[in-house]
Structure 1
Amino acid sequence: MERPLEGIRVLSLTGALFGPFCGMVLADLGAEVIKVERPIAGDMNREWGPFFPGVKGPDKSAYYVSIHRNHKGITLNLKNPKAKEILKELVKKSDVILENFKPGTLDEWGIGYEDLKKVNPRIIYACGSGFGHTGPYSLWPSYDIIGQAMGGFMDMNGWPDKPPCRAGSSIGDIISGMFLCIGILAALRLREFTGKGQKVDVAQVDSMVAVLENAVVRYTLEKKIPTRIGAKHPTITPFDIFKCKDGYVVIAAGNDGIFKRFCMAIGKPEWITDPRFDTNPKRTANEAILKPLIEEYTQSRTRWEVAKLLLQNDVPSGPVYNVGEAVEDPHVNAREMIVELDQPQYGKVRVAGCPIKFSDTPIKKFTPAPLLGQHNVEVLSSILGYTKDQVDALQKEGVI
C-alpha cells in the first residue's frame, strides 16, 4: 500500500470549493476519487480564473486544476433517469458519496441519503452546505463569504477603522472541507466495527464558529464582543506585524521569557523591568505605547535582518511574505509544498502540494486534474462492465 486510503472509492458530486477541497485531500491520501460533473459545462469552477493561455472550453480553468489533482472524472446528467441508475450502480461499489448541493436537492432527484443507503447500507454520505441539513436556515443558499460573515469571522477580521473583511483565501470553504474530511475518516473507522455507513453533515457557518478560538469564551464569559484589531493578538503582546524598510516582520513573544530574550536581542534590557511592560497583561494594556517603540528599531532594518537576529535568540519571528515569496521560498520547496502537474492541453503547471507528511507512505505522486468526462469509458467499463459502444450510446442520449 503506497497511500493510507488506497482501496477507498469516493464519488464526488461536488462543486465550487467546499466539496472539491475535501475530495482533493481524500485523493491525496490515496482514495480513488471519481468526480461526477454535468455534461458539456461541468463544475461551475471550470469558469473561474485564472485560465490557461490558449486553452478554450471547459478545460481552460487553472482554478479547477488546482483543486482536482489525483481525480478521475466522469459526466452524468443527474436529472436523467438512466444517469441516476448509473449513479446507484456506482454507489453499490463505492465507500463514500461526497456532495455539497443545497440541502434537499438530491432528495428531490431521488438520490439523497435515504435513497442511497438502501442501495448500499455501508455508504458514507458526506454532505457539505452553508448552514447544514437541519436548523431554521438549512435551505438558504451559501458561498464561502456567507460562512465567514455569519460565523462571526469577518467582523473580527481587518482593521478597527475599516469594514469587516473576508479572509484572503476562501477559508469558509477550506476549513469546512477539512472538517468534512475528518468526519468521513471517522465514519469509515466506525464502519469497520458496525458494518454500517452513516450521514456526515458539515456546515460552513458551524465550521467558522468552531474556529473562532477564544473569541467565543471571551463573549460567553466576559460578555465582550471581540471585533477588528488588525494583525495583533487580543491578549498577547508583542504578537503582531512591525514595519521594516522592505515590508513587515512578525514578532511573537508568547510569554514573559520570550519577551525578555526579545528585549536583550534588540538592546532594550530596560523594558524587562519597565512597570508598563514587565508582564504580558501590562504589555497588552500598553500595546499602543510598546508597538511604536519596537518599530523605532524595526523600521531601520529589513525584514530578514530583524527575523534572523530574533531567531538566533530563540524569539519566534518571520517576514510577512507575499504569495510569490512563499511559493519560491527554499524551505517551502524543501517540504515539497509546491508540486508540478503535467496538465493535458497546457503542460507543466505548479500548484500547492499536500501538507501531510507520512514517514512510511509519503505522498509523492500527483496526477493531473481530469478533463471533462475524461474517464467515462474507463470508469463505466472497469467498475460497471459497460462496453465502449454502450458508453457512446449513453453520450448520444445525453445521459453522460
Structure 2
Amino acid sequence: MGSRSPDHRQTASACQRVAAPEPHSRLTSRASASVGRAYQPGAVRRPRHIRGGDSEAQRGRGDQIVNATALDGLKVVELAEGVAGPYCGRLLAAFGAEVIKVERLQVGDWTRGAEPILPDVEEPESSALFLYLNTGKKSVTLDWRCANNRSTLDGLLESADILLDTSPSGTLDGLGLGFDQLHNKYPGLIAISITDFGNSGPYRDWKSTPLVSLALGGYLYLSGDENREPLMLPGYQADYLAGLHGYLGATTALWSRDYTGEGQQVEVAVIESLAALHQFTTVMHTYSNVVRSRHGNRFEQSGVYGRYPITMLPCKDGHVSFAVSIEHQWENMCTLIGRQDMLSDPRFATFPERRQLAPEIDDILIDWMKDKTKEDIFREAAGIWAVPVAPVSDLDEVM
C-alpha cells in the first residue's frame, strides 16, 4: 500500500493555527463540531436523549429512546491514524458518539492514500480503507503537536469524554498531553492509547506491520498446512482486533466513570490483543506443555477431544465447511451421503478414531460432493438432515 499527501490541505507552516474545527462534508452529515460543558466529576452520566426527559421517555416508550443509540451525547477526540485507532473511533461513532478526527496539516492520515482507490470518488477521500475506517466522523485539520495550537486542542478536550490516541509511546507525555497531565486538568477524561507493543517493556519504541504482529504474536505459526510455511491472515486483522479491544476498554471506562466520577487510561497493545486471541493455546502450553501446530483446514485436536469431520472440502463450485461434532450428526451425515455402512464399521466407531482416518473420510465426502454445488449441499445437509454444513461464500455472496 502506498501513501500520498492529501491534496486538499493548503500549504502552511508547521505551526499554522486553525481558528475553529469544522466538520468534513463526506465524513459526517452533522452540523458542526461543538464545544459543550466539561464533564463534572462525581456526576452520573446519562445519554443526552434522557437527560431531563419526561417519565414517558425515562420508561423507554418515547420516540427519542427508540431512535437513540447507546453512546449519544458522548464526544471523542481522535488523535489517531492508521487502522487500529480509527477503527476504534468508527465503532464509537457507530454507536452514537460524536467523533472528531484531528489530522495534522499537510500530512493527514496515511490511509487516505491506501489502495484500493475508488475511481468515482474525488481525492483525498478516494481510499476505500479510509472511508471504511472514518465513516460517521467529523474532521479537523490541526497540527496538534505544535504548542501554538494548544488552545484549539484544549477547546476540544475540555468538553470531551474520550481521547483516542495512537502516537508512539511517550509522545503525548513529551508534549504535556500525558494522562497524568490531562487528568489534573480534565479529571473525567478517558484516554485510550493503542500502540503496537504497549507503553512499557523492551519493544515499546518499536513499530510494527500486520505481518510482523502476526509473526511475533504466534498466530502465523498456527495458520497454514502441516509441514508447509505459515500463512498470513488477510488484511489488518491484528489492528482490527486491537481497535475492538480499545472500544471495549472505552465503554468499560465510561461505566466506571459513572460511579467514580473519574476518567482513566486504557492501554491497548496490538501484540497483547493477539495473545488474547489464542484461545486455549496458552492454557495448553502452560498446564500440559503442549504446543499447537498447523493442521490446515482440519480440526487439530486428537485423543478423547478429537472431532471429525470438522474441515473445509471442495465441491463443484467452491468449498463447503463441515462441523460434525455430535454423534447423531455423524449418523445423519453417513445416511445423507449413502454410506450407512460406515455406521457399522468398527474403524469409525468413535470420534477420535475418525480423526485418525481423516484422509479417508475426506476422500469419501469429496467424491460425494464433486458434482454438487455448495448451495445444494447446504440446503440438503443443513436444511433437511440437520448436518452442520455451510458454504464458503465469496464477497458477492456475502453482500
TM-score with structure 2 length normalisation?
0.78
- Report the Cα distance in structure 2 between the residues aligned to 1:159 and 1:230, rounded to whole angstroms: 4
- Report the Cα distance in structure 1 between the residues aligned to 2:296 and 2:347, rounded to whole angstroms: 22
> What is the deviation of 1:197?
0.5
Amino acid of the structure 2 residue aligned with 1:288: P
Q: Which residues in structure 2 correspond to 1:286-297 (within 5 Å)?
A: 286-297=357-368
How large is the RMSD of aligned CA atoms in angstroms? 1.6
Instruction: Select 1:246's aligned residue among 317, 322, 326.
Output: 317
Check whether the contact 1:247–1:302 (CA below 8 A) recurs between aligned residues: yes
> What is the deviation of 1:55?
4.9
Instruction: Select 1:99's aligned residue among 143, 153, 165.
Output: 165
* Cα distance change of structure 1 residues 265 and 55 upon mapping to structure 2, 3 Å threshold: closer
Q: 2:392 aligned with 1:320, yes or no?
A: yes
Partner SS state of residue 134, structure 2: coil
Instruction: Select 2:353's aligned residue among 275, 282, 288.
Output: 282
- Report the Cα distance in structure 1 between the residues aligned to 2:169 and 2:326, rounded to whole angstroms: 46
Note the alpha carbon deviations across 1:131-176, whole angstroms, 9 max, x for none. Answer: 1112222221123322211111111112224322221131101111
Amino acid of the structure 2 residue aligned with 1:24: R
> What is the deviation of 1:54?
5.6
Partner SS state of residue 226, structure 2: coil
Check whether the contact 1:261–1:313 (CA below 8 A) recurs between aligned residues: yes
Match of 2:231 in 1: 165
Q: 2:272 aligned with 1:201, yes or no?
A: no
Note the alpha carbon deviations across 1:167-201, whole angstroms, 9 max, x for none. Answer: 11311011111111111101000000100000001
- Report the Cα distance in structure 2 between the residues aligned to 1:75 and 1:227, rounded to whole angstroms: 47
- Report the Cα distance in structure 2 between the residues aligned to 1:204 and 1:75, rounded to whole angstroms: 27
Match of 1:153 in 2: 219
- Report the Cα distance in structure 1 between the residues aligned to 2:160 and 2:69, rounded to whole angstroms: 18
Partner SS state of residue 242, structure 1: strand
Match of 2:44 in 1: none
Q: 2:296 aligned with 1:230, yes or no?
A: yes
Amino acid of the structure 1 residue aligned with 2:363: P
* Cα distance change of structure 1 residues 197 and 258 upon mapping to structure 2, 3 Å threshold: same
Match of 1:218 in 2: 284
> What is the deviation of 1:6?
0.2
* Cα distance change of structure 1 residues 254 and 85 upon mapping to structure 2, 3 Å threshold: farther
Note the alpha carbon deviations across 1:284-318, whole angstroms, 9 max, x for none. Answer: 22212221122121122211121111112111111
Match of 2:246 in 1: 180
Match of 2:193 in 1: 127
- Report the Cα distance in structure 2 between the residues aligned to 1:57 and 1:295, rounded to whole angstroms: 48
Q: After the TM superposition, which of the residue ranges 147-156 and 20-29 deviates more from structure 2? A: 147-156
Check whether the contact 1:145–1:172 (CA below 8 A) recurs between aligned residues: no
> What is the deviation of 1:3?
0.6
Q: Which residues in structure 2 correspond to 1:18-37 (within 5 Å)?
A: 18-37=84-103
Amino acid of the structure 2 residue aligned with 1:135: G
Note the alpha carbon deviations across 1:194-242, whole angstroms, 9 max, x for none. Answer: 0000000111111111111122223233323212211221123111111
- Report the Cα distance in structure 2 between the residues aligned to 1:324 and 1:171, rounded to whole angstroms: 21
Size of the alignment, in residue pairs?
Answer: 327
- Report the Cα distance in structure 2 between the residues aligned to 1:214 and 1:269, rounded to whole angstroms: 35
Partner SS state of residue 58, structure 1: coil
Structure with greater Cα Rg: 2
Match of 1:263 in 2: 334
Q: Which residues in structure 2 correspond to 1:346-385 (within 5 Å)?
A: none
* Cα distance change of structure 1 residues 306 and 54 upon mapping to structure 2, 3 Å threshold: closer
- Report the Cα distance in structure 2 between the residues aligned to 1:220 and 1:293, rounded to whole angstroms: 38
Structure 1: give runs of 5+ residues left out of the alignment. Answer: 328-400
- Report the Cα distance in structure 2 between the residues aligned to 1:102 and 1:143, rounded to whole angstroms: 14
Check whether the contact 1:15–1:44 (CA below 8 A) recurs between aligned residues: yes
> What is the deviation of 1:19?
0.5
Match of 1:356 in 2: none
Instruction: Select 1:80's aligned residue among 143, 146, 160.
Output: 146
Q: After the TM superposition, which of the residue ranges 73-82 and 57-66 deviates more from structure 2? A: 57-66
Q: 2:378 aligned with 1:307, yes or no?
A: yes
Partner SS state of residue 70, structure 1: coil
* Cα distance change of structure 1 residues 243 and 211 upon mapping to structure 2, 3 Å threshold: same
- Report the Cα distance in structure 1 between the residues aligned to 2:194 and 2:184, rounded to whole angstroms: 21
Structure 2: give runs of 5+ residues left out of the alignment. Answer: 1-48, 50-67, 302-306
Amino acid of the structure 2 residue aligned with 1:283: R
Amino acid of the structure 1 residue aligned with 2:355: T
- Report the Cα distance in structure 1 between the residues aligned to 2:282 and 2:106, rounded to whole angstroms: 45
- Report the Cα distance in structure 2 between the residues aligned to 1:134 and 1:41, rounded to whole angstroms: 28
TM-score with structure 1 length normalisation?
0.78
> What is the deviation of 1:56?
5.3
Note the alpha carbon deviations across 1:83-129, whole angstroms, 9 max, x for none. Answer: 23321231111000111122112222222212221220111101111
Partner SS state of residue 318, structure 1: strand
Note the alpha carbon deviations across 1:309-361, whole angstroms, 9 max, x for none. Answer: 1112111111112222222xxxxxxxxxxxxxxxxxxxxxxxxxxxxxxxxxx
Match of 2:258 in 1: 192
Q: Percent identity?
A: 30
